[in-house]
Amino acid sequence: MYLLISTLLTFIQIYSFLLIARVLLTWFPQIEWYNQPFAALSQITDPYLNLFRNIIPPLGGIDLSPILAFLALNLASGLLGSLAGPLASF
């Protein structure tokens, strides 16, 4: 069970880095999202971000959905971390 939680925590950490890269790259309007490697990054991160874009649509051209996305990942990471703590002692 500890291995599963540890793997999920690692996945969340990697996915968070991918989201950070995606958000930072949106600051560069000249990026063509249909070319690689940007298309792959977009395909990996956009479905997750779209969940939050349905909750908070872009306001005045500013997309606030990554904030909720990061909060959800941090919440999941914290919950998994609190589960992993007691399991690590076994």
- Alpha carbon distance 23, 1 (integer Å): 33
Mean pLDDT value of segment 34-58:
91
| The model's pTM | 0.85
Bridge partners of 59, per DSSP, are: 62
Look at residue 83 in the predicted model and tell me its pLDDT. Answer: 82
Look at residue 87 in the predicted model and tell me its pLDDT. Answer: 63
Report which DSSP code applies to 37. T
Residue 25: partners with Cβ closer than 8 Å, 6 or more residues away: 31, 38, 41
- Alpha carbon distance 33, 49 (integer Å): 15
Report which DSSP code applies to 60. T
Residue 38: partners with Cβ closer than 8 Å, 6 or more residues away: 25, 31, 32
